[in-house]
Amino acid sequence: MTPFTYARATDAAEAIRLGDRPQAKYLGGGTNLVDLLRETLERPTALVDVTGLSSTIEERPDGGLLIGAAAKNTAVAEHRTVRTRYPVLSRAIVAGASAQIRNMATVGGNILQRTRCTYFYDNDGSRCNKRAPGQGCDAIDGFNRIHAILGASPACVATHPSDMCVALAALGAVVHLRSARGERTLPLTDLHRLPEDHPEVETMLEPGELITAIELPALSFAARSTYRKVRDRASYAFALISVAAALELEGGAVKDVRLALGGVAHKPWRAWKAEAALKGRPATVESFRAAALVELSDAKPLRDNGFKVELAVRTIAAVLGELMGENA
Amino acid sequence: MFITINGSKAPLPDDPRVSLLDLLREHLHLSGAKKGCDQGACGACTVLVDGNERILSCLALAVQYEGRSITSIEGLAADGALHPLQQAFIEHDGFQCGYCTPGQICSAIGMAEELQRGVPSQMTQDISKGTIAHTPDEIRERMSGNLCRCGAYNGIVAAITEHYTGAEK
């Protein structure tokens, strides 16, 4: 690690004051950032510890839920309202990492975690446009079994590793932000960027901007939601494909649906096209598969990850089928 | 700037780069928690915060735990007597080389508290309920952050099961 100063912020105003300078980084549970510091992939000169900021989970008058960005992943997954009204979020969180890491990791840090592309981490041996802009990408013609099939660019084919964010994307979560210039909100689906020509710029956050909370909108049919993760091991591995889904049925048809994918893109991938293709259609495996194919029609697989296309289609169909339950 | 380690106050390092694991091992000479991977992949460095919250000490900066109470494997045996879970690991052959064992035992203690609180896992069928049983599937999933390269997993699950449920297996 390169040297840095450490300060613990007691509230958001202090955090922003301390964090509003180049080379400062906000520190949550450290489960990703400490690793990146050790690999010198991150070289901040100042760390501002924001784990003492709001971690409350409170019900909103409109029926939604406001989650402080310092809430631990475990605290969100075990929260009674999350378990009963947004089960997809509980299930996505417990599909990620290990229990120890979920106890440490904050919601804000989970959102801002960086890719686990092995070429990004290979500081000495590989070229990476994310690590060294303009250098080139060794993943595109390398071992790219785990890489993106949607929304990638000639500059970067890395994926976003979060499970939690896939559920947040499906739920239409809104991110609350604060900086020296004031407060604003962004839909989670607009927070992360696609790589385009600048994969080193991963989010729409401005310098010094801090995530203060995540808002889950009231979504009554989210009680019928779930998350499925397909990976190389039964537990404690990043997703090859993951699917977050919520389903509302009416008279044998899809009244409303939410669908998001993990392991496929540089950001949590809301499957807008599949959702549009499903609404009003008969709730059958055939419709589910057809809608999944619409979403995946844009897929551009690489040498080693062509399997992800059919795996995504099948997983979407299976998860929606599971949500049908006894209506199947 | 103090941290409590196994009931005793210890000064925090001046350099904020020191991990909690290095504070334990290099500064305080408590070598129970192991530096297996030093990147959050193996669980050998697992310790408990404020009683029974399990964390990875390799990914924790020591300064972040100012004022908190840390328990490592050295803090579990009271007055020279093994913690009953340590005894159960011996009786069920919950290890061969023993390298991962301190992390396994701290992790199991944290896991038991999580089960009691009703924290769901991906093996939990109905996550709307508040209580979860110590089934072998739940234990295996919840202990998946602790690798054992000797492959003593069956003994580990048996030791944990017996300690927390009284069942022989």
Q: What is the DSSP string of A256-322?
A: EEEEEEESSSSS-EE-HHHHHHHTTSB-SHHHHHHHHHHHHTT----SS-THHHHHHHHHHHHHHHH
**Residue ranges of chain A that CATH labels 3.30.43.10:** 5-51
In sequence order, the β-bridge partners of residue A7 are A48
CA distance A190 to A199: 15
Estimate the crossing angle of helix B101-117 against helix B84-91, to 10 degrees: 120
CA distance A300 to A32: 29
Residue A325 pLDDT: 86
Q: Does B61 touch chain A (CB under 8 A)?
A: yes
Q: Is CATH 3.30.390.50 what the domain over A224-327 is classified as, yes or no?
A: yes
CATH code linked to domain B84-165: 1.10.150.120
Chain A residues inside the 8 Å CB shell of B39: 35, 38
Interface contact A27-B61, CB threshold 8 A: yes
Residue among A98, A232, A242 with most chain B CBs within 10 A, to mutate = A98
Residue B166 pLDDT: 86
CA-based Rg of chain B, rounded to a whole angstrom?
A: 16
- The whole-angstrom distance between A133's CA and the closest CA on chain B is 25
Predicted-assembly ipTM surpassing the 0.90 threshold: yes
Q: Is beta strand B69-71 parallel, antiparallel or unpaired with respect to B2-5?
A: parallel
Q: Let me know: does A170 contact A244? Beta carbons within 8 Å.
A: yes
Instruction: Give the three-state DSSP class for B122.
Output: coil
Interface contact B64-A27, CB threshold 8 A: yes
Interface contact A104-B59, CB threshold 8 A: yes
CA distance B124 to A96: 15
- The whole-angstrom distance between B70's CA and the closest CA on chain A is 14
Superfamily of domain B2-75: Beta-grasp domain (3.10.20.30)
Residue A52 pLDDT: 97
Chain A residues inside the 8 Å CB shell of B17: 1, 3-4, 37
CA distance A35 to B58: 9
Closest-approach residue (CA) in chain B for A100: B55
CA distance A243 to A253: 21
Residue B124 pLDDT: 96
Residue B78 pLDDT: 81
Chain B residues inside the 8 Å CB shell of A47: 16, 61
Residue B20 pLDDT: 98
Q: How many other β-carbons are positioned within 10 Å of the β-carbon of residue A240?
A: 21
- Cα-to-chain-centroid distance, residue B75: 12
Tokens of A149: 């099939």
Residue B131 pLDDT: 79
Regions of chain A where pLDDT drops below 50? none
Of B16, B54, B63, the CB nearest to A100: B54
Q: Does B167 touch chain A (CB under 8 A)?
A: no
Q: How many other β-carbons are positioned within 10 Å of the β-carbon of residue B151?
A: 10
Residue A162 pLDDT: 98
Closest-approach residue (CA) in chain A for B141: A235
Residue among A33, A48, A88, A100 with most chain B CBs within 10 A, to mutate = A100
Q: Does A97 touch chain B (CB under 8 A)?
A: yes
Q: How many other β-carbons are positioned within 10 Å of the β-carbon of residue B126?
A: 9
> How many beta-carbon contacts under 8 Å exist across A and B?
107
Closest-approach residue (CA) in chain A for B120: A78
- The whole-angstrom distance between B145's CA and the closest CA on chain A is 5
Sheet holding A5-8, edge to edge: A5-8, A46-49, A24-27
Interface contact A100-B55, CB threshold 8 A: yes
Residue A328 pLDDT: 66
Of B46, B54, B120, the CB nearest to A90: B120
**Residue ranges of chain A that CATH labels 3.30.390.50:** 224-327
Residue among B39, B55, B138 with most chain A CBs within 10 A, to mutate = B55
- Cα-to-chain-centroid distance, residue B94: 14
* A238 secondary structure, DSSP code: -
Q: Does B109 touch chain A (CB under 8 A)?
A: no
* Residue at B42: amino acid letter: C
Phi, psi of A74 (to 5 degrees): -60, -40
Q: Let me know: does A79 contact A231? Beta carbons within 8 Å.
A: no
Residue B168 pLDDT: 56
Interface contact B120-A84, CB threshold 8 A: no
Residue A113 pLDDT: 98
* A205 secondary structure, DSSP code: P
Q: How many other β-carbons are positioned within 10 Å of the β-carbon of residue B102?
A: 24
Phi, psi of A259 (to 5 degrees): -145, 130
Regions of chain B where pLDDT drops below 70? 168-169
Q: Give domain limits for chain B.
A: 2-75, 84-165
Of B43, B66, B127, the CB nearest to A87: B127
pTM over 0.90: yes
CATH class of A5-51: alpha beta
Interface contact A235-B38, CB threshold 8 A: no
Closest-approach residue (CA) in chain B for A37: B17
Q: Does B63 touch chain A (CB under 8 A)?
A: yes
